[in-house]
Chain A
Amino acid sequence: MGQTITEKILSRVMKRPVKAGETVYPVPDLMTVHDWYVVNFDKALQEQGVTQLFDPTRVLISTDHEPVATNPANAERQKNVREIVRKYGITQFFDVGRGGLGHIFPMEMGTITPGMFVLAYDTHVTNYGAVGCLGIPMVFEIPEVLACGSCWIQVPETVRVNLTGALHKGITIRDVSQRMIVDIGEDNLDYSVVEYGGPALKDIDFGGRMTLCNNPLEMGAKSALIETDERMIEWLKPRVKGPIQPQVSDLDAIFKSVYDYDLGCLEPQVAAPPRPDNVVGVSKVAGIAINHAFIGSCANGSIEDLRDAASILRGRKIHPSVRLFITPATQEIAVRAGNEGLITTFMECGAVMTAPGCGPCAGGRIAPVAPGEVSINTGTRNDPGRLGTTKADIYLASPLTVAASAVAGEIVDPRKYL
């Protein structure tokens, strides 16, 4: 019986063949936790009298949700995080300035490789699928994973998506991706892993691959990953020390469903309030005045996304009634943005750069919106309150659409700015 990539990865971890639907307790190769949950997991472990982690060398902690403490209470929390890291002997700790967004920099550093299995405190660990790793969010139960080494999961079914066609000018993977999750639908995506392949994959860069692996979980997917191709291996080669094990599903693997999805989306797509699946063509929302714009997050904080934004912003000025925040997701992306002159472009147009990490998307802890304001951004979600107050409207779009809208002062089709 053939296996999907997901079944193969979990079979390796379980040291026996497993198939979709089984309940298993797999021990992950890596467990990641972000800065805003460290104090909480420590409290949960203390309540059970746990003083040692299952394997502290397999734990990675990143300071990304609030890299720059913005008040004394948060500075104290950061201090506590450092003490907790020392107490448990956690070796992979990436404090402010050392890595950036934890769903991205471990791939840049070569820590994440095809075929790995990661459990994480944070939903967007699915980004690791961009390099063929199965990243599964384990939110409330992460103290159990840290103490006992595992937690129950049901081996997920796989939805196979074969990408075909080509992007039209002014349309990005974000447009296609947020349209696609609506087209495939919640019933298919719920508790499934989305596995991407197909002839168009070779044309999709690393940033686009992260976006593809990021969006589906907003519609209930368990994870998402990309089958190993030459482009992935080329990206990994200079970063990974050991051998790279390509991951592909067997020809006779059983999928929950199979889609051919054409990248030739006709119009830029915008997720309107109040949910990421409320996706419409940009023409439906064009003209809505905005106050706040943001480019970054684990969905669209890559160097390719910043290049897209700069292609619109170069030589232009942000509209007087708009503030635009730009967050390179990682230290490496920030360095590249500097080397390529993108930061100069952003600063000259009137945008503000924030510290590498999640940016405003992490609950609006930095650069939030005020009641009655409207934001358009490249973040992951647009639930009321995602950027602070519940009384603001949040639209999600591609870096091109966000940049063009920041210039126009209202939501616009970016194609006339290219």
Chain B
Amino acid sequence: MDWIYTGRCWKFGDNLAVDADLTKKEFASQRETRPEVLREFCMCGVDPDFPKKVSPHDIIVAGRRFAQGNPHIQGLLGIAALDLGLVVESIPRGSYRNAINAGLPFLAHCEGVTKECETGDELRVDFSTGVLENLTRGTRKSYEPPSKEQLDIIALGGWKAMFAKRIATMRAEGTIPAA
């Protein structure tokens, strides 16, 4: 997997709600997980036109407690479906897990990052090392990346692919019965 994303910055504030801001609330109770559906409603609570504006490898930069609320995965699957990266000042742990589960490259502990860039800036982010470069401003910052184990899950494409791989491994070992 190429961990380096180069694209435009899309900046948001603090406390974006995982259900009402990041996606359509109903998707959680419907357990909707289809990328082609979720991508169309990415960030619809704050900007309904967002999916039309962004390009693959653009980067969402947000403040504290991104994706707060009941830890449903749909909002994070929507971001991953648009092939975006995510850089936030903080993210509650349930949504942190779900970012990994969604296969979404992200940096979760970026104190003050919203002061480092504005919407429209050209960014280059290496999600495996935590280095964020603002190419428009010519600045560079370093943050804590996810752990090796977590990056491995993201590289596979998220929880579903990791689960399939674990099942195959356990079958091969004879730990669980064959299909």
Contacts and interface: CB of A to CB of B under 8 A. Distances in A.
B13 interface: no
A190 interface: yes
Given A140-B98, A148-B167, A54 B70 contact: no
A313 to B, nearest CB: 30
A187 B147 CA distance: 20
B101 A148 contact: no
Contacts of A108: none
Contacts of A140: 73, 97-98, 101, 159
Interface in A9-39: 23, 36-37
Nearest to B158: A140
A372 interface: no
Contacts of A42: none
A170 interface: no
Contact of A190 (B17, B69, B93): B93
Nearest to B175: A148
A50 B164 CA distance: 10
Contacts of B25: 384-385, 390
Given A40-B31, A275-B68, A50 B167 contact: yes
B179 interface: yes
Q: SS class of chain A's interface: helix, strand, loop or mixed?
A: loop
Interface size class of B (residues with CB under 8 A): 20 to 34
Given A123-B70, A220-B93, A383 B170 contact: no
Given A52-B176, A148-B167, A191-B93, A383 B15 contact: no
Given A141-B101, A141-B159, A385-B25, A148 B20 contact: no
Given A54-B176, A390-B20, A144 B163 contact: yes
B150 to A, nearest CB: 9
Nearest to A384: B20
Contacts of A152: 149
A222 interface: yes
Interface string B52-78: 000000000000110011111100000
24 contacts: A23-B149, A40-B31, A48-B164, A139-B71, A139-B72, A139-B98, A140-B73, A141-B163, A143-B163, A144-B163, A144-B166, A147-B167, A148-B167, A148-B170, A148-B176, A186-B64, A186-B90, A190-B92, A220-B92, A220-B94, A274-B17, A275-B15, A363-B29, A385-B19
- 8 smallest CB-CB distances across A and B, nearest first, come from A49-B179, A191-B93, A220-B92, A385-B25, A384-B20, A140-B101, A144-B163, A48-B167
Given A23-B147, A139-B97, A384-B17, 19 more contacts: A36-B29, A48-B163, A48-B179, A51-B177, A51-B179, A52-B176, A52-B177, A137-B71, A140-B73, A140-B101, A141-B97, A147-B167, A187-B90, A190-B92, A190-B93, A275-B69, A381-B69, A383-B70, A384-B20
Interface of A: 23, 36-37, 40, 44, 48-52, 54, 123, 137, 139-141, 143-144, 147-148, 152, 186-187, 190-191, 220, 222, 274-275, 363, 381, 383-385, 390
